[in-house]
Each structure stands twice: as structure tokens, then as C-alpha cells.
Amino acid sequence: MGKLIRFLLMLALAAALLAGGLYLYAQPQQTLDLNYSDLSIKNKLADMIASRKLEVELTEPEVNNLLKKALAKQSSVRGEVEVTGARFTLNGSEWIADVNLLYQKRWQIGAELMFAVSWQEPYVTVVHTGTRIRQAGIPSEWFRLKPLQVPLNDYMPKLAGVKSIDFLEHGVRLKLGIMLH
């Protein structure tokens, strides 16, 4: 009987150590938030006029703000996981977000989310393709964000609209056209 109790205590201790280790492993490595600044294309119009091209280039921080705004609107995932912070890194049409998550309103988790990006007029659509916590991949059944949609034409002057998009290494180039509605 004493051996069984000792075995059960050792098993409980091992389980507690494993749970504590997993909790420490999953902790966020950096403090992130969902604060963003609204995009103002009007500041870029002077550059567009000077270059005589109907193009606007958005920098990585500007795209980051657009995506954080879209993410803030749907920060809850299945009710038990909430995105509390993010920072996006652009690399062509594959984007990565370092995120802070809150599981069951109690446990903080740091993760890296991978996204595939496409232009489907009138939206830039950002689709979650994978999740990693440090180096460990997480099955998509456990955590999946709904696609983020950013309506870029909402940021354009009234007569201009986005015709096409080029995804650059650290930014996005918008090719504009005159929209007659």
C-alpha cells in the first residue's frame, strides 16, 4: 500500500512539474498590444504626384496598423482564446505575426502565426495557415483564426481605388485607378 501511495505522489509531482514546465515554455517572450494608428493615404499623395505614378507604397508599420485594427475586431477565438497583442512581419505574400494570447482569461501564451495573403478586390485577405509556440507546431484544430479582411478602398480618396497590389518584402505597393461610380 505504501508503494502505491508513493507511486501516486511521484506521478502527481511529475505531472505538476510537466504542467509548470509547459506553462513557462508557452509564456510570451515580449509584451505586445493591439493598439494601432489609422492609416492616412493623404500624406502619401504628394509623393504620388511628384513621382507621376498612381502608386502608393505602404510600409511594414503601416500595414501592421491595418492588420492590428482588423485583428482587434475579432480578437476572440472560440470564446476561450483571446488575442491580446500582435506584431506583423511582412515577407512578400507570406506574413508572420508574433502574438500574445490569453487562454481562458487566465493563462498568457506567446505564439507565432503564419498567414497567406492575397488581393481579392476590394479586400486584402489574410488567411491563418499555421501556429507555433516557440518551435512547437500547434494543430490547426486547436487554434485557427478567421481570415482577416482589410478594405483598402476605405482609405483612398473618393475618386481613387485600388486596382492591384504588389506584396513586397517589407511593404505593400498599391496601384491605384480612377473609380467612377
Beta bridge partners of 123: 120, 151
- Looking at residue 69, what is its pLDDT? 92
- For the CA atoms of 154, 160, 163, 165, the dihedral, rounded to the nearest 10 degrees, stands at -60
- Looking at residue 63, what is its pLDDT? 93
Q: Mean pLDDT lowest for which of 89-98, 119-128, 158-167?
A: 158-167
Please report which helix (H) or strand (E) contains residue 47, including its range.
Answer: helix 42-51
For the chain, how are helix, strand and coil distributed in percent, rounded to 5? 30, 40, 30
> 496598423: which residue's cell?
65
Is 141 in contact with 163 (CB distance < 8 Å)?
A: no
Beta strands in 81-147 (DSSP E): 81-91, 94-103, 107-120, 123-133, 136-138
Q: Is 80 exceeded by the pLDDT of residue 73? A: yes
Is 97 or 122 the better-scoring residue by pLDDT? 97
Closest CA to 26 of 142, 109, 137: 109
Q: Is 70 exceeded by the pLDDT of residue 181? A: no
Closest CA to 63 of 31, 93, 39: 39
Tell me what the mean pLDDT of segment 160-171 comes to.
89
